[in-house]
Amino acid sequence: MDAQPTQTPERAAYYDKIAPGNLAPLWENLKALVTPEPVSPCQPFRWRYAEVREHLMEAGRLITAKEAERRVLMLENPGLRGQASVTHSLYAGLQLILPGEVAPAHRHTQSALRFVIEGDGAYTAVDGEKTLMREGDFVITPNWTWHDHGNDSDRPMVWLDGLDIPLVRLLDASFAETWPEDRQPLSRPVGDSPARFGEGLLPIDWRPDAKTSPVFNYPYERSRAALEKLRETRDWDPCHGLKLRYINPASGDWAMPTIGTCLQLLPKGFTSAPYQSTDGTVYTAVEGAGRVTIGNETFDFGAKDVFVVPSWHRLQFDVDEDTVLFSYSDRPVQEKLDLWRERRGNA
């Protein structure tokens, strides 16, 4: 694929002749279509939470959650402006719910995650069951499930939204509906799903009818405790420190079919070995501070900041204190299509 066809006047005239028939020569485009390594227009970027929060609070004064349906500031990749994309396949945004507000019930074919950045006491209701949300909780809204959000606390609630909007758009598979009322009716008590599916047990006659985890809230308190326990017994991975993936307890697969989610701990003073992977990844720092080098750019970050690592960009961390990172990517899709690759160290 190194050779490039020579341009001649005769060939140029031929290309002009076939263009009105919606035809184009592959040989003039092959090198750009089939590349030796991933090439992405996505760019590394870091969003300072303190700066975005100021704009979010201003949005809270300008428009209600009900009027907006979802009061969200999208985190657009600077290489994909205008496409509502943080990577080629994923969307990111920061959503604000003020005290007493409700984001009305709707459903859509896009799968969504919520990672709580700030606040304690808001809720998400999913298909008739409500779950309370606290900082660091990872909450799932599965594909085509009714969901609404509300804030019964006395503080603003902010969470990171992650959706597979660009992937669904690529497949032309978007559907959406709204519920006739702001809140959907509740049919199960708070805590029903974790009791049924989150204790290493399953109801005897239950059979999975969806690819998404039946547990839709993974509390940070439990996930953080697991990392702390592993600190006592596990060797640190040179690239990841201690890194755990959220799973579907019924199958052991990723918790969501199109979005892979992880939580990792980097100990104070840790400098990671270089790492590359094909899944463009969004990170938010739950705790800690340090620096991240993405390709040729280095960003400092603190708690609640968000940054994006494009596909196949070299990644390294250098942290000043114990640091916990939540991340999400399209790795489950790439794995199922046998596309996912990684490179560890300087190999």
Domain range summary for the chain, segments of one domain joined by +? 45-344
Tell me the per-residue pLDDT of 290-347, one tens digit each, with 9 for 90 and over: 999 999 999 999 999 999 999 999 999 999 999 999 999 999 999 999 999 999 987 6
| Tokens representing residue 159 in the block | 């969470």
User: Using the 8-state DSSP alphabet, how is residue 185 labeled?
Assistant: P
- The 10 Å Cβ neighbour count of residue 237 is 14
Q: Taking a C-beta distance cutoff of 8 angstroms, is the pair 304, 240 a contact?
A: no
Q: Residue 2: pLDDT above 80?
A: no
Cα separation, 4 vs 24, whole angstroms:
16
- C-alpha distances in angstroms, 65 versus 72, 124, 148, 282? 9, 14, 11, 25
Tell me the per-residue pLDDT of 232-268, one tens digit each, with 9 for 90 and over: 987 899 999 999 999 999 899 999 999 999 999 999 9
Cα separation, 157 vs 332, whole angstroms:
29
Tell me the per-residue pLDDT of 187-242, one tens digit each, with 9 for 90 and over: 998 988 998 888 888 888 888 777 999 999 999 999 999 999 999 987 899 999 99
- CATH code of 45-344, in short, is 2.60.120.10
For residue 74, the one-letter residue type is: M
Cα separation, 209 vs 247, whole angstroms:
16
User: Beta strand pairing status for 290-294 and 176-178?
Assistant: unpaired
Predicted local distance difference test score (pLDDT) of residue 201: 83
